[in-house]
Structure formats: structure tokens, C-alpha cells
Amino acid sequence: MPKHYPTILDLIGNTPLVRIQHITKHLPTNINILAKLERHNPGGSVKDRPSLWMVKDGIKSGKLTKDKIIFDSTSGNTGIALAMIGATLGYKVRLVMPANVSEERKRMCKAFGADLVFSDPLEGSDGAILHAREIFEENPDLYFKPDQYNNPANPQAHIESTGPEIWRDTDGEVTHFIASIGTSGTLMGTGKYLKSQHYDVQIIAAEPDSPFHGIEGLKHMESSIVPGIYGEDGFDMKLGISTESAYEYTQRLASQEGILCGQSCGCALAAALQVADTLVERKKGGTIVCIFPDGGEKYLSTAVFADGVVFQGEGI
């Protein structure tokens, strides 16, 4: 291993897997839930991966030149990643995000030097997508738009990095893979890779169970603008998770596992526990890997932690 790295971007990927131990203590020993902690990427989320792949693809294709501004819509994490990458490589970055994203996300983007444009908070990520399209169409020659919802480099990042890491770190014993849905790139790309290694690996999508939800960054597909990279044939099952359940497990992860994370992680864990219960009923074992997209530092001012941690651990 080198003693130093050329840039911060060389630290993207190779995030750790950790076993959930206390919340899962009711499960038999032949069922394990492992969380892949994407907060360990330098930008703090899973979005570092596709953002880097999309920017590199833009440079390689000649679509991104030094006189262009990197520009996209985001609910926060992709924006942070693009801003970090832009700062590292010397590109200006402009982002459209809903005005109600957490203050921490806004400040992180600004700290990396990004210019922010805010869209209607009531229209969520779809509103940011539409507003970004309007801005881009006014002056397309000014911008390089990665278009994370439709860019094949998004899932490709997970085919080339996330999937192989999970296969390697579980010694090929992963039986179920779970990812919550935003752009769907993590689900589509990682799922495709794992299926190529062993077709019996079950790929499971976790999404909010209602169009009106509080799980920041996630999409309820039936009521949303569907990303071009998303496909129903890319997974075996979809589970709807309530905002209350996602918040509960996000809080419990902090207070019972020592894992401070965002509510999309609580959503993924809620889905993993449903899958585990099904395995118990069928008297089968399994290794369930779920993506924890980011850390909780960006959400301390939001509703999920607004009243402090509610669910306390019961001791070890």
C-alpha cells in the first residue's frame, strides 16, 4: 500500500462492511446483515463513485473542458461529490437543489466552492431536475451536465467498484443485496455485477412507501420522474418502507450500533430486517448486504434527529 495518495479522489471506494449486531440479536446466527458504510468515501457518501465516473467520462469524451461549468440537479450528496471533485480538478461547479435540503448539505457544497441555485422545496428532487433542465437549455454551451439520473456512467461506477468490493469482502457469500432508490444507480450497477457472479443473489430495492414521505434523497418511483438508468428488470423485489420506520432505524443505528447515518440507511436496514424475517420463516440462512449511502452529520438539523435520539440501546 502506498504511504500517500496523489489526490483525495484516489480515496474513493473500498469502503468497509460492518455487521449489524445489536438490532439483529433476535436473528439466528446463520443470518447476518452487513452494512457497507459509504460515508467513508472522502465526500462522505456513495455518490462520490458515480460522480467521479461521470466527470472522468466527460473529460475522456471531450464534453467537459476547462471552460465549462459542471452543472447538475441534486438532493445533496451528488452535489457535494461534484463540488469536491470540481475543487480537486479545477472546475467550477453549479448545482440546483431543493431549498429545503439540510443546511449542512448546503454549507458543504459552498465550502467546496460550488454555486447553488435553489428550487421549490415543495417539488422535491423532481422540481430540481426540471429547474436544472430549464437553466441548461438557456445556455447549453456553458455547462457540462453529468445528468446523474440518465448517465450510464452512474451504474457503471458500481459495476466496476461497489459490486466487486462486496463480492470480495463477503468471499462470494452474499445472498441478498439491498439498496434504497434515489437515482437507482447503486441498485442497478451493483445488482448487475452481483448477478453476473452468481445469478441466485437476490437484488432488492427499498423505496418510500408513499409519494409524501420524509426520507430525504429517495424516490417513490411510481409518483416520480423515473430515471433513464432505472429498470424493473434490474432487481428481484421492491419493498416499501415508511418514513417512521426509516427514522426509527436511523436513530437506533446511532444509539444501539454506534453508526451515525442518514435516513436512507435506516430505510435500507428496515428492508434488510424484512428480508431476514422471511429467511427465518423459511428456516434458511443468508448474508444480507445493504448499502448505507452516507453519514448522519448532514442530518443533525433535520426531523430525523430533531428531538434527539428516541430509541436507546439496551446494553451489550
> Phi, psi (5° rounding) for residue 292?
-100, 100
The catalytic residue among 75, 125, 161, 264 is 264
Q: At 256, phi and psi to the nearest 5?
A: -110, -20
| Three-state secondary structure readout of 185-246 | HHHHHHHHHHHHHCCCCEEEEEEECCCCCCCCCCCCHHHCCCCCCCCHHHCCEEEEECHHHH
Tell me, yes or no, if the two domains 8-42+162-305 and 48-144 fold the same way: yes
- Distance set, CA 196 to CA 128, 146, 279, 285 (Å): 35, 27, 23, 22
> What is the C-alpha to C-alpha distance for residues 76 and 108, in angstroms, rounded to an integer?
9
Domain chopping of the chain, boundaries: 8-42+162-305, 48-144
How far is 75 from 39, CA to CA, in rounded Å? 16
Classify domain 48-144 by CATH architecture.
Answer: 3-Layer(aba) Sandwich (3.40)
Cβ neighbours, 10 Å, residue 37: 20
State yes or no: is 51 an active-site residue: no
Helices (H), the chain: 48-61, 77-89, 103-111, 124-138, 153-157, 163-169, 185-197, 243-257, 263-281
Q: Give Cβ neighbours of residue 258 (< 8 Å, ≥ 6 apart).
A: none
CA–CA distance, 134 with 61 (Å, rounded to integer): 24
Active-site residue, selected from the candidate residues 47, 106, 145, 219: 47
Positive or negative, the CA dihedral 209, 210, 211, 212 is: negative
**Cell, residue 82:** 461534484
Q: Global pTM?
A: 0.94
Question: 280: helix, coil or strand?
Answer: helix
What pLDDT tens digit does each residue of the chain (316 aa) get? 668 999 999 999 999 999 999 999 999 999 999 999 999 999 999 999 999 999 999 999 999 999 999 999 998 899 999 999 999 999 999 999 999 888 899 999 999 999 999 999 988 888 999 999 999 999 999 999 999 999 999 999 999 999 999 999 999 999 999 999 999 999 999 999 999 999 999 999 999 999 989 898 898 999 988 999 999 999 999 999 999 999 999 999 999 999 999 999 999 999 999 999 999 999 999 999 999 999 999 999 889 998 655 555 444 3
d(Cα 183, Cα 228) in Å, to the nearest integer? 9
> Among this protein's residues, is 66 annotated catalytic?
no
CATH architecture of 8-42+162-305: 3-Layer(aba) Sandwich (3.40)
Helix or strand or coil: residue 67?
A: coil
